Structure 1
């Protein structure tokens, strides 16, 4: 049995893993909602930031006494899991970056974004310090094309605290842990994650996989994602996958 902790990205919540968790049969799966997201949207403050989100996950690890954890971060959740690794590496087995940013110590997600996208997000910050997106445009960018998927996701999205992507990680070193990058290749509006994927693909220290789907594979291809996470590629029928699963190594 593997212990998974699945950390969502911006504008999402623990709800986004709902199609994946039943497929991780026999494993211990935890899905925290970060402060200001999902069912904890009402807890957002103007100063909610990356340190709060790291603390959210560290609290789950400590209070449930989780060890040997495969820690998965989606999108901006890559910064969160990196910060968690700085805090409590002794509880972790592997870091999994799911179509995610991979910041270095002292970097923020904003540091890794193209300037035009960073300025766009800053222009969408409301008086409560949250980035408020046009949900239809956002789902287009995430390649959520199926009407049923959009209808499920739309009412669950919430504005996201800007501090989570503006605040830098501490300067503390990130311990050497096994790392796995999962790249989603369908990006109609451009791919902010291609550079991280290319670096992981060519670095023998990383495990690397690709999924031929959009930015939210937990919604669009949950069986394929569960297979990659559990490494049971031959035992799961990819009926929900729009294309082949490619494994780099």
Structure 2
């Protein structure tokens, strides 16, 4: 008799537990997180494809932004500024109900900072991945010039009109995706385009009341040849970001270790 009562009790408890879990899953699916992913320089939305697919499988909504002058967009480089990039992302956010988790890689860190200053109420968290993380008054160029360990500066080739930058072809893989598969390396080379130069020189103006009100997370890349780990650490310290994760990858972890990036973003979203 006692054994029967014990079994019935266990069954009842299991039913309650499974019902609670099912209810929690339903709540998560009913209120999915929305990620907005912003690529970096010399890249385009394709770099997020694997991460996007992983997050969508987990029930998240994912938007990848194509910055003007990148991917298929043919905007003239002389028309592009950091503010143009910012407004492009803000337009994407305006189509989303509620807040988003805004993720920026490399140059994208400058962009998402500018976006947070303008529309902080639309952002739940800012996530910087191997990204430039400015304080008010800094430009990407300001930060990059302090990066003695970066291999990018010596590989830059400005155009004759100074409106774009190329990266020496022989250095592209080493700088951006040294740890990627052959297929991924080929993908990066096939999608390469010269980078508009003007946004590199545009400083951001950030305030404590707007930008400072948004929660921030930084994901360090420990084998980075573009934005060195030393600069990443320096920017994190200067900006006072407390929530820091790290990946033992090159500058483009979403290409070399997309599952690890997806897992971290899911964890950060909780």
Q: Equivalent residue for 1:2?
A: 33
- Written as runs of structure 1 = structure 2, the 5 A alignment for 1:39-54 is 39-40=72-73, 42-54=74-86
Cα gap change, 1:172/1:205 in structure 2, threshold over 3 Å: closer, same or farther? closer
Q: Residue 244 of structure 2: which of 208, 213, 219 is its match?
A: 208
The Cα shift of 1:67 comes to 2.5
Q: Does 1:182 align with 2:216?
A: no
Post-superposition CA distance 1:228-249 (Å, at most 9, x none): 00018xxxxxxxxxxxxxxxxx
Work out which of the two has the higher radius of gyration on C-alpha atoms and give 1 or 2.
Answer: 2
Q: Flag the structure with higher helix content.
A: 2
Q: Equivalent residue for 1:30?
A: 63
Q: Residue 12 of structure 1: which of 43, 59, 65 is its match?
A: 43
The Cα shift of 1:147 comes to 1.8
Cα gap change, 1:199/1:122 in structure 2, threshold over 3 Å: closer, same or farther? closer
- Written as runs of structure 1 = structure 2, the 5 A alignment for 1:95-110 is 95-110=126-141
Post-superposition CA distance 1:20-61 (Å, at most 9, x none): 111002001000100001111x11331311111001100111
Q: Equivalent residue for 1:237?
A: none
- Tell me which moved more, 128-137 or 68-77: 128-137
Q: Does 1:219 align with 2:255?
A: yes
Q: Is the 8 A contact 1:122 1:131 kept in 2?
A: yes
Q: Equivalent residue for 2:204?
A: 169
Q: Does 1:83 align with 2:114?
A: yes
Unaligned ranges ≥5, structure 1: 233-249
- Tell me which moved more, 65-74 or 210-219: 65-74
Cα gap change, 1:120/1:139 in structure 2, threshold over 3 Å: closer, same or farther? same
The Cα shift of 1:119 comes to 6.7
Unaligned ranges ≥5, structure 2: 1-31
Cα distance between partner residues in 2 of 1:57 and 1:159: 21
Q: Residue 190 of structure 2: which of 155, 172, 176 is its match?
A: 155
Cα distance between partner residues in 2 of 1:153 and 1:221: 15
- For 1:10, what is the secondary structure of its paired residue? coil
TM-score normalised over the length of structure 2? 0.77
Q: Is the 8 A contact 1:75 1:101 kept in 2?
A: yes
For the aligned residue pairs, the C-alpha RMSD in angstroms reads 2.7
Cα gap change, 1:147/1:72 in structure 2, threshold over 3 Å: closer, same or farther? same
TM-score normalised over the length of structure 1? 0.83
